[in-house]
């Protein structure tokens, strides 16, 4: 067995031991096709007011600009699916990924452990870990590595595990054995396109982020939300899971086994009235270790008021 294949097999075994669902590896090279698509997407203002998307274009498409001498991109997925739900059907809703602790911290800890293990096994390796924390086109790399395919809702889908998972990467200067992309299994299905209440998925495989409920409730920092979308949020106050909920592939999803992602009973049992009466102290206590902190108390209150 070659050293590159030996190291690759070790990395994949170790990733599963650390709790990752999938691990695939692709060659670190410039993403030329994706670069053309991203440039067009930005020029059409599909990013809305997410001006950070305009920064570091060269780093987004070329991994050697993030890690000098990069040879490989290790792509990983981490399951967050839970069958636990908010108990009040009238309560404003939170996207599933944000029901537990902040994934940036939880996943990064395991990612750092994996990189340490690689260095123990392979020697001095120059590498960096990424969990939605730098200009990395994570879905493009995950697709290239064979973890899954980018579906019509523009999420990464896997045939046996659906799409309820976080993506993470390790870019490093180590030659490894590279995987191949997998088939697209979306077929003729357009449920995600048909179900989007704001027409953010304006055609299969194309997303206008500036019309997405997740964009409005998390990314947009304006004091007021656009009037033309009143009544179209389907009661989502933080994020949105509609295009995942209607996806037939997600019938394969299985609950995660990560204690940090378990939603608290206090959060799940909040009634509609309790959300409307939420104080800033209550917000800080409830979301102390949560990604929901990103929207801040004022942002969440704005979202809840918009749903009335």
Positions annotated as catalytic residues are 132
How many CB atoms are closer than 10 A to CB 145? 26
- Cα separation, 137 vs 34, whole angstroms: 9
DSSP 170-231: EEES---PPP-------TT--HHHHH-TT--EEETTEE-GGG-HHIIIII---SS--GGGTT
- Cα separation, 262 vs 218, whole angstroms: 21
Strand-pair category, 236-238 with 149-150: unpaired
DSSP 128-182: EEESS-SS--HHHHHHHTTS-EE-TTSSEEBTTTBT-EEEEEEEES---PPP---
Report whether 135 contacts 54 (CB < 8 A): no
Distance (Å) of CA 219 to CA 81, 103, 213: 23, 17, 10
The tokens 């998972």 sit on which residue?
165
Closest Cα partner for 267 from 80, 82, 85, 83?
A: 85
* Joined tokens for residue 73: 């991109």
Q: State residue 160 phi and psi, 5-degree precision.
A: -105, -10
SS3 24: strand
């Amino acid at each position: 067995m070659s050293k590159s294949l030996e190291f690759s097999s070790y990395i994949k075994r170790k990733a599963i031991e650390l709790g990752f669902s999938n691990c695939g590896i692709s060659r670190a090279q410039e993403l030329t096709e994706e670069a053309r698509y991203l440039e067009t997407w930005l020029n059409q203002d599909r990013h809305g007011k997410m001006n950070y998307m305009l920064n570091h274009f060269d780093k987004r498409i070329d991994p050697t600009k993030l890690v000098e001498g990069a040879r490989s991109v290790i792509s990983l997925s981490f399951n967050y699916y839970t069958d636990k739900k908010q108990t009040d059907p009238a309560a404003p809703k939170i996207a599933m990924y944000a029901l537990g602790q902040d994934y940036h911290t939880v996943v990064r800890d395991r990612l750092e452990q994996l990189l340490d293990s690689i260095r123990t096994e392979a020697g001095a390796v120059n590498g960096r870990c990424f969990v939605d924390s730098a200009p990395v086109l994570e879905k493009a790399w995950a697709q290239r590595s064979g973890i899954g395919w980018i579906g019509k809702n523009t999420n990464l889908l896997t045939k046996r595990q659906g799409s309820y998972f976080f993506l993470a990467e390790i870019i490093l200067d180590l030659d490894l054995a590279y995987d191949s992309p997998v088939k697209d299994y979306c077929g003729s299905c357009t449920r995600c396109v048909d179900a989007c209440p704001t027409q953010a998925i304006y055609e299969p495989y194309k997303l206008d982020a500036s019309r997405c409920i997740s964009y409005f409730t998390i990314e947009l920092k304006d004091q007021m939300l656009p009037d033309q979308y009143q009544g179209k949020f389907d009661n989502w106050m933080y994020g949105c899971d509609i295009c995942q909920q209607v996806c037939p592939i997600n019938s394969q999803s299985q609950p995660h086994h990560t204690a940090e992602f378990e939603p608290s009973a206090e959060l799940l049992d909040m009634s509609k009235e309790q959300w409307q009466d939420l104080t800033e102290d209550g917000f800080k206590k409830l979301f102390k270790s949560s990604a929901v902190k990103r929207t801040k108390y004022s942002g969440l209150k704005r979202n809840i008021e918009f749903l009335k």
